[in-house]
């Protein structure tokens, strides 16, 4: 059975699974889960009514005020919850129970500026749950995009022990990632063939923020099959509303002996519900003796610590068309920079520089490949990626060879 016969059914399996997942989570009006939720809300409301009766005869009872506030909050009625928190404030009923409730309601209602102000009040009145304070304050700084303030807080001496708690460490890493928007990347790959000398590919890049957008530039060098070539390439990510964004790419090769002389790319990315994303785009490769137009897109989904993605390429050239399919799976560790990944592919991906051969002849040749990756966090601002791969590929029509890949990548992030 060929790789193509395996991957194409996977494409048709993957999309219905994702759509079914969305459907199952958005069209369940009569499920047991919703019935249970309705029952819980009735219990919350009953508790509120009973507590209000008791409060009418004991109007200075702060415990009852907090009880009512909590039950309103659990029903997602945050405005009503804050009314009873304010009543507890008026009688100066300051204790851990009040601040637990107050901080939760402000977080759930996305009132991040008020959350930070309230944390100051909690500290003033000797609130003792420092772990809860740090966790919520880091979330608030993230949502307010005050990344530097969040990093300073996490790195302060009083939080030295708390920063190693799993979810707090994740929040801190996320703040560093968002703050350190400048990055230097380096990549080197080495290919071994049955009957050729090893082939080399290297690149070094730099990315930086441009307002709320991102610009990246790379210098690529290839030494393959007796040829050398240098390509300069740029990517621009233009942020739109609702977390959608556009990708623009341009590359120019100085010799055009391995890379296309001109490379253009565009893609529109759209986030979906339930941790999914999709895109639609195109690539244009202009080689010395041929031009290639490519349609592409992708669909991806996060499932807990797993990530699954599928990307097709449909190449249109003068004398032929060709389909490439790339499937990826990653399993993340507690630190999102630590993960294992596997990639399966049919065809030669136009987005993979390893596939470059003179005049784009690779596009109409078959290839079946697998690659295993391991990404390792060196520290909180840099990580290392190691990859090994195997391909069974045509080098001319009907004739196959083996290709073995070793890949090493490094990324360093800074302010």
- Is 79 in the same domain as 174? yes
> Taking all residues of the chain, what is their mean pLDDT, rounded to a whole number?
88
Three-state SS sequence of the chain: CCHHHHHHHHHHHHHHHHHHHHHHHHCCCCCHHHHHHHHHHHHHHHHHHHHHHHHHHCCCCHHHHHHHHHHHHHCCCHHHHHHHHHHHHHCCCCCHHHHHHHHHHHHHCCCHHHHHHHHHHHHHCCCCCHHHHHHHHHHHHHHCCCHHHHHHHHCCHHHCCHHHCHHHHHHHHHHHHHHCCEEEEEEEEEEEECCCCCEEEEEEEEEEEECCEEEEEEEEEEEECCEEEEEEEEEEEEECHHHCEEEEEEEEECCCCCCCCEEEEEEEEEEECCCEEEEEEEEEEECCCCEEEEEEEEEEEEECCEEEEEEEEEEEECCEEEEEEEEEEEEECCCCCCEEEEEEEECCCCCCHHHCCHHHHHHHCCEEEEEEEEEEEEECCEEEEEEEEEEEEEEECCEEEEEEEEEEEEEEEEC
Structural domain contains residue 19: no
- Is 160 in the same domain as 185? no
- Is 122 in the same domain as 236? no
Pick from 151, 178, 205: which residue ends a domain?
178
Domain count, the chain: 2
List pLDDT tens digits, range 285-344: 998 888 889 999 999 999 989 999 999 999 888 777 888 999 999 999 878 889 999 999
- Please state the rounded mean pLDDT for residues 264-270: 97
Q: Is pTM beyond 0.85 here?
A: no
Structural domain contains residue 24: no
- Please state the rounded mean pLDDT for residues 257-283: 95
- Is 160 in the same domain as 299? no
Instruction: Tell me which residue range forms the domain holding 409.
Output: 180-414
* pLDDT tier at 2, thresholds 50, 70, 90: very low
Pick from 120, 151, 178: which residue ends a domain?
178
- Is 208 in the same domain as 304? yes
- Is 371 in the same domain as 395? yes
List pLDDT tens digits, range 123-165: 999 999 999 999 999 999 999 989 999 999 999 999 989 998 9
Domain CATH code at residue 238: 2.40.160.40
- Is 128 in the same domain as 57? yes
Domain CATH code at residue 69: 1.25.40.10
List pLDDT tens digits, range 105-129: 999 999 999 999 999 999 999 999 9
- Is 66 in the same domain as 155? yes
Pick from 178, 195, 220: which residue ends a domain?
178
């Amino acid at each position: 059975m060929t790789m193509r016969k395996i991957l194409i059914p996977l494409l048709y399996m993957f999309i219905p699974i994702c759509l079914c997942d969305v459907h199952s989570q958005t069209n369940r009006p009569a499920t047991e889960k919703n019935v249970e939720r309705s029952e819980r809300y009735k219990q919350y409301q009953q508790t509120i009514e009973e507590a209000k009766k008791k409060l009418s005869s004991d109007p200075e009872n702060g415990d009852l005020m907090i009880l009512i506030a909590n039950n309103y909050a659990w029903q997602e009625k945050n405005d009503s919850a804050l009314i009873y928190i304010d009543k507890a404030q008026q009688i100066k009923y300051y204790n851990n129970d009040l601040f637990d409730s107050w901080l939760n309601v402000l977080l759930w209602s996305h009132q991040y500026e008020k959350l930070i102000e309230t944390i100051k009040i909690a500290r003033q009145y000797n609130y003792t749950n420092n772990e809860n304070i740090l966790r919520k304050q880091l979330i608030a700084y993230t949502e307010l995009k005050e990344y530097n303030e969040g990093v300073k807080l996490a790195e302060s001496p009083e939080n030295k022990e708390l920063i190693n708690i799993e979810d707090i460490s994740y929040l801190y890493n996320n703040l560093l990632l968002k703050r350190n928007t400048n990055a230097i990347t380096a990549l080197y790959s080495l290919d071994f063939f049955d009957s050729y000398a090893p082939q080399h590919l290297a690149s070094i890049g730099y990315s930086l923020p441009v307002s709320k957008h991102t610009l990246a530039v790379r210098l690529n060098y290839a030494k393959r099959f007796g040829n050398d070539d240098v390509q300069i390439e740029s990517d621009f990510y233009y942020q739109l509303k609702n977390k959608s964004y556009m990708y623009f790419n341009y590359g120019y090769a100085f010799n055009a002996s391995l890379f296309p002389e001109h490379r253009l790319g565009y893609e529109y990315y759209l986030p979906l519900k339930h941790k999914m994303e999709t895109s639609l785009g195109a690539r244009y490769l202009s080689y010395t003796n041929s031009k290639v137009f490519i349609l592409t897109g992708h669909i991806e989904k996060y499932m807990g610590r797993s990530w699954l993605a599928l990307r097709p390429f449909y190449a249109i050239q003068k004398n032929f068309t060709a389909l490439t399919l790339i499937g990826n799976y990653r399993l993340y560790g507690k630190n999102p920079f630590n993960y294992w990944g596997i990639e399966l592919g049919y065809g030669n991906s136009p987005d993979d520089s390893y596939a470059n051969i003179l005049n784009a002849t690779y596009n109409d040749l078959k290839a079946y490949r697998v690659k295993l990756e391991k990404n390792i966090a060196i520290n909180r601002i840099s990580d290392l990626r190691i990859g090994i791969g195997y391909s069974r590929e045509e080098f001319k029509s009907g004739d196959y060879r083996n290709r073995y890949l070793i890949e090493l990548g490094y990324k360093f992030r800074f302010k």
